[in-house]
Chains A and B, each alone.
Chain A
Amino acid sequence: MRSPNRPQISSCPQGWPALRVPCRRKTAKGWRRCGLYTPFRFKSPVPRELAGARFRTIQGLPQANRVRRRSNPMDRIAISFNSLAISSPENLVYGISPHPLSCGLGLTIGAGKVFPEVNFTLPPMNMTPETWPQVVAHYEEMGAQIVRRALSLHVPGLVLEFELLPPMTDCPEWGAELTAILKRHLVEAHQKHGLASALRVTPTDIRDQQKPPLMRTGDPWKRLERSFNLCADAGADILSIESIGGKEVHDQALMYGDFPGIVFALGVLAPRDMSWLWGQIGSICAAHPGVVSGGDSACGFANTAMQLAHQKMLPEVLAAVVRAMSSVRSLAAFEQGAVGPSKDCAYEGPVIKAITGRPISMEGKSAACAHFSPLGNIAAAMCDLWSNESVQNVRLLSGNAPEAFTELLAYDCRLMNSAAERGGALQLRDWMTASDEWLSPQAAVLSPQATLRIASAIVAADTPYHRVLAAGRAAVDLLNEGAAAGKLTLSRKEQQWLSRIDEALDSLPADEAALLAELEPQYGALYDKPSYGL
């Protein structure tokens, strides 16, 4: 089913999605421009020894990042990020990314303005075929009211994020129906008022319905895949997911403070699943012209740690180090061709932006409707979209909560954009950073300087496992230096834990196979090895 409201974008004859870069295809007369665009640029002539394969360069990336690609356009490109797209703190600021993204209905993200990304959900209610009309009514209401508020506040652009609840992913047709409803509201606003917008659709990762989870096979994956396809058909502009590969090990390791287990989950399992999953999502996007693979989030890993730290269940230093290390698995989406914006709850987004140059969505104080965090202001410092994470459709004094939070986000964005127009973006970024940076270890690893340090450590390492170790080491060193300089105040317990993490990092084996063997007795029963290609 194709939504009649979806913008008609021509496909390259070879089936690649039409984006920014001129496309060339091989004809009888040699390489010729076909007049359309792809995200990639051919390099020709093809070396003889690689006949049948094609080299691609990704616009803006150094030649060193060139990788081989098979001739099937539906095959996904694996991109290796070996250097930073943003290497200077002056260039790491909200609203601007080296590779802006044009998507949806006339929206360009990362080209100078920050836009609100409004995220909304149902109030407490049963979701059954009998209550489905009420569910639909909620989404009609939320779509209409959010757009109404956005228009009245003259937002220059808007992203709606539709996070599917598990039943909507389990029944993909439900998710598609709601996608079409929300897209209709955006199309009408675009046609009547010229509102630039995009719809991000985020199915639930339901692959953990079985224990241990089967990540690449089974009915949950089939339903999830179908959910992506149907939502893309129904009008999604950006596909995302908060994937959970490796979480089955990470949860237990986190609860027991088992640092080797955490590294195993983040450095061995999660990147493998991310690479596979985002290859699949990329293929789905390639089959739906105009739909982009946005990005993922380490929500199930680093945000879980953040929330447990907020409840004093875990040390904050552990949550901070997990945040840094989880950037590696989130990066894997972009290695498989994701173009951003990464998910709002990916607080590791600045690291992704520094490495890939792609736009990111962030949330902070604006997400207080969903959860608390120590990152209220600093999270906005480098964002390209500013989100509220999720708000239920409940009545407040002013109006319904999604509409109220649209206003909140709109004003935040207006302030950031106004400052940028007057040459004050860096100043505002620094104020946002300074307000939080040294009040929490988790904020300390999110400043622009810390971001670049962690990002540099990541790209300097080779494998995901080594990159996780490098990110962890960078985060630990940052925290130790901050504490030693008297900037970061750590309690005795937090300092003990930081020392414990420091020692654990040093004692981890250099070879991931050794870690895998070492942890097999403890965690082997929790995950399905074929699901990770092991």
Chain B
Amino acid sequence: MAQVKELYDAILNGNAKQAHVSTVAALAGGADPMELISGSMVPAMDEVGKLYEAEEYFVPELLLAGRAMKSAMELLKPLLVASGQRMATRVVIGTVKGDLHDIGKNIVASMLEGSGFEVIDLGTDVSPEKFVSAVVEREPQFVCMSALLTVTMPAMKTTIDALANAGVRARVKVLVGGAPVTSQYAQEIGADGYSENASGAVSMVKNLIAA
């Protein structure tokens, strides 16, 4: 279907308007929403990811592609909900309590969305209680935490402990990241994974799903 190829190209080129138009046309032509996602949109974002890894794309191209995918998803989500379908994987992400840095977290969130995951972004300065509430209410499979200051890193452990105290720790995989965070620190605080960059975080989520 030509519109499917157009949608793929629109996402690859970060053209949100064209992605919207192509999605409308594809749906009008009888395309199935989940097939559009799995057959066109996710492959497009996979290709974007590869181009980013190959240093052919920078973050702007990656985020523009994510924005294009989002504009298409806005048309597809209501249809998925109506048919009782949902995105397979849900991720809660936020910068921990006391920390206002969000650029890295935003990049990870965008890349996760681009990979077809549903992302609930809690923002910055997120308290452990807010993370717990999000896990209880939204039932994600992953919790991703970011910290950029050495004095806010300890909030990661506090949050993991809060998840345990609430009895929901076993329901989620916890991934941590940020400039001062290390793999060793992630192990010490009981996280399930650590990544030193955004694309590594996405790969880790995919690997944990596949495992």
Could you tell me which A residues sit within 8 Å of B by CB distance? 121-127, 165-167, 208-209, 211, 251, 255-258, 304, 308, 311-315, 392, 493, 497
In the complex, what distance in Å separates the CA atom of A371 from the CA atom of B191? 25
Interface status of B43 (Cβ within 8 A of chain A):
no
Question: A389 to chain B: closest CB distance in Å?
Answer: 13
- Binary interface encoding of chain B residues 60-73 relative to chain A, with 1 for a CB under 8 A from any of its CBs, else 0: 11011001000000
Q: What residues of chain A lie closer than 8 Å to B67, measured between beta carbons?
A: 256
Chain B residue, CB-CB nearest to A168: B151
Interface pair B150/A493, CB less than 8 Å apart: no
Interface status of B167 (Cβ within 8 A of chain A):
no
Interface pair B60/A314, CB less than 8 Å apart: yes
Interface pair A312/B58, CB less than 8 Å apart: yes
In the complex, what distance in Å separates the CA atom of A279 from the CA atom of B125? 29
Our pick among A211, A315, A392 for the contact of B58 (Cβ within 8 Å) is A315
Our pick among B103, B123, B197 for the contact of A255 (Cβ within 8 Å) is B103
Interface pair A211/B123, CB less than 8 Å apart: yes
12 contacts between A and B (CB under 8 A): A122-B151, A126-B154, A166-B100, A167-B151, A208-B100, A257-B58, A258-B60, A312-B55, A313-B107, A313-B198, A493-B58, A497-B58
Could you tell me which B residues sit within 8 Å of A by CB distance? 55-56, 58-61, 63-64, 67, 98, 100, 102-103, 106-107, 123, 125, 149-151, 153-154, 180, 185, 197-198
In the complex, what distance in Å separates the CA atom of A123 from the CA atom of B180? 10
In the complex, what distance in Å separates the CA atom of A312 from the CA atom of B61? 12
Q: What residues of chain B lie closer than 8 Å to A257, measured between beta carbons?
A: 58-61, 64
In the complex, what distance in Å separates the CA atom of A125 from the CA atom of B125? 17
Interface pair B149/A256, CB less than 8 Å apart: no
Interface pair B125/A124, CB less than 8 Å apart: no
Known A124-B180, A125-B150; contact A256-B60, beta-carbon cutoff 8 A: yes
In the complex, what distance in Å separates the CA atom of A167 from the CA atom of B100? 12
Q: What residues of chain A lie closer than 8 Å to B98, measured between beta carbons?
A: 166-167
Number of A-B contacts (CB under 8 A): 65
Q: What residues of chain B lie closer than 8 Å to A497, measured between beta carbons?
A: 58
Interface pair A255/B100, CB less than 8 Å apart: no
In the complex, what distance in Å separates the CA atom of A304 from the CA atom of B63? 17
Given A304-B103, A312-B58, 8 more pairs with CB closer than 8 A:
A124-B154, A125-B154, A255-B63, A257-B59, A257-B60, A308-B103, A312-B55, A313-B59
Interface centre among B59, B67, B107 (most CB of A within 10 A): B59
Our pick among B106, B125, B154 for the contact of A209 (Cβ within 8 Å) is B125
Q: What residues of chain B lie closer than 8 Å to A122, measured between beta carbons?
A: 150-151
Q: What residues of chain B lie closer than 8 Å to A304, measured between beta carbons?
A: 103
Interface pair B151/A127, CB less than 8 Å apart: yes
Interface pair A493/B56, CB less than 8 Å apart: yes
In the complex, what distance in Å separates the CA atom of A314 from the CA atom of B107? 12
Interface pair B150/A121, CB less than 8 Å apart: yes
In the complex, what distance in Å separates the CA atom of A324 from the CA atom of B69? 34
Q: What residues of chain B lie closer than 8 Å to A313, measured between beta carbons?
A: 58-59, 107, 198
In the complex, what distance in Å separates the CA atom of A124 from the CA atom of B149? 8
Q: What residues of chain A lie closer than 8 Å to B60, measured between beta carbons?
A: 255-258, 314
